[in-house]
């Protein structure tokens, strides 16, 4: 397991995020030593989606209105249909995501999470895996949609669905670790 001790990861969500796409990657990051924080434009708490119905409530750690991208080293974008659909129409959420790409920081997105990446203007020219219903949206945004369990393209790792979470976690931790090493070497 890569050592991510001290790496600060923002997890951007709104109501309707796919619960396992937050919980399992967050657990993997925490076990690797990262410091994860749930960031949300919604008031506390946010509510997950458990496959076919509403899931549990999760406390937010930082309100989006108070979150500074410079305080984080990486970004995780869980999917679920409702969550990224809500995020992509909120300018502050889109700008938060865009700032990670502008700074060259690593981003991990699963399932419907790439919707927010499209809105942030960061999909063009990238290979991106997602839930199949985003294929046309990604292609229209200039990305190459790929049907693979986990894909790394530069500073972005993406994945299709909850079944892919083990592969997604491995690739995400690897990307975050490599990015951290490059930052340390550059500093």
| pLDDT tens for each residue of 45-101 | 999 999 999 999 999 999 999 999 999 999 999 999 999 999 999 999 999 999 999
The topology (CATH level 3) of 8-186 is Rossmann fold (3.40.50)
pLDDT of amino acid 185:
58
Residue-range domain boundaries for the chain: 8-186
130 is catalytic: no
pLDDT of amino acid 109:
98
Task: Single out the residue of 63, 11, 19 nearest to residue 37, CA to CA.
Answer: 11
Higher confidence at residue 186 or residue 9?
9
- Sign of the four-CA dihedral 3, 7, 186, 102: positive
Tell the burial category of 140 from Cβ atoms under 10 Å away from its Cβ (0-12, 13-18, 19+).
exposed
The lowest-confidence range among 12-16, 20-24, 54-58, 177-181 is 177-181
Buried b (16+ CB within 10 A) or exposed e, 57-80: ebebebebeebebeebbbbbbbbb
pLDDT of amino acid 182:
64
For residue range 102-157, what is the model confidence (pLDDT) as tens digits?
999 999 999 999 999 999 999 999 999 999 999 999 999 999 999 999 999 999 99
Which is the catalytic residue, given 42, 88, 112, 171?
Answer: 112
């Amino acid at each position: 397991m890569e050592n991510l001790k001290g790496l600060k990861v923002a997890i951007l969500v709104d109501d309707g995020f796919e619960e396992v796409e937050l919980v399992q990657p967050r657990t993997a990051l925490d076990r690797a030593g990262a410091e994860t924080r749930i960031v949300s434009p919604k008031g506390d708490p946010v509510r997950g989606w458990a496959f076919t119905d509403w899931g549990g409530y999760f406390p937010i750690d930082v309100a989006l209105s108070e979150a500074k991208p410079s305080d984080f080293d990486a970004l995780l974008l869980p999917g679920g249909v409702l969550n990224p659909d809500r995020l992509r129409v909120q300018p502050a959420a889109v700008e938060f995501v865009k700032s990670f790409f502008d700074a060259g920081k690593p981003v991990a997105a699963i399932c419907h999470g790439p919707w927010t990446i499209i809105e942030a203007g960061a999909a063009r020219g990238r290979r991106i895996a997602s839930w199949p219903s985003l294929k046309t949206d990604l292609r229209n945004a200039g990305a190459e949609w790929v049907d693979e369990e986990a894909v790394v393209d530069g500073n972005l790792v993406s994945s299709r669905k909850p079944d892919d979470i083990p592969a997604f976690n491995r690739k995400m931790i690897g990307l975050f670790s490599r990015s951290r090493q490059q930052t340390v070497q550059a500093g």
